[in-house]
Amino acid sequence: MSTAIDKPGKPWRAWLLALSCGFSAGGSAQAGEPRSAGPTPLIQVVTVERDCFGCANSSRLSLHRNGTAFLTLSGKARHGTQDQRSRARLALPDFEALAALLQAQGFFAMAESYEDPEMRDGAWVNWQVERDGEVKQVFRRGGCGPEALAVLDAAVADLQARLRFNPEP
């Protein structure tokens, strides 16, 4: 497994290494997240939506524990772009690594929204993570919010780039 040192621009890999060694960046409890007596509920679905005013397409990436990944690009009339839907096979270790990173970065303790009230047209990302029948959503506009969200954004972008998506009819 590589670390951020041998892969510049990929600091999330260091977190995965730390997790595999039993290290917790938050100490005995993650930021505001109480420890439960039982096992941590399994994350089933991770969905990341992205858009901006000037973007040719908005995107929705949906990663499922069952090994399926969907990428939907929604076209915009003002840019003359078309809708596209693609599917890829997602390896369980890749999904589990992302799920572990979400836990390590304290995703479930984050606020629901991070944005500058003065900014209305900036690029945004909306995370939705389903575990144990509940959905946690975190909205981010213009890069606001904790560094942990930037780490998660980079990790999911890296994973998306490695998946081989095939267009659906």
Q: Where are the domains of the chain?
A: 40-167
Task: Give, for all 169 residues of the chain, the pLDDT tens digit.
Answer: 333 333 444 444 444 434 333 333 333 334 444 444 567 789 999 999 998 776 667 889 999 999 999 999 876 666 566 778 999 999 999 999 999 999 999 999 999 999 887 777 778 899 999 998 899 999 999 889 999 999 999 999 999 999 999 998 7
Q: What is the CATH number of domain 40-167?
A: 3.30.1560.10
Closest CA to 99 of 41, 141, 17, 146: 41
9 CB-contact burial (10 Å; exposed 0-12 / middle 13-18 / buried 19+): exposed
For residue 55, give every residue at least 6 positions away whose Cβ sits within 8 Å of its Cβ, in sequence order, or none.
76, 123
The pTM of the full predicted model, rounded to 2 decimals, is: 0.74
Strands (E), the chain: 43-51, 57-64, 68-75, 84-89, 113-114, 124-131, 134-141, 166-167
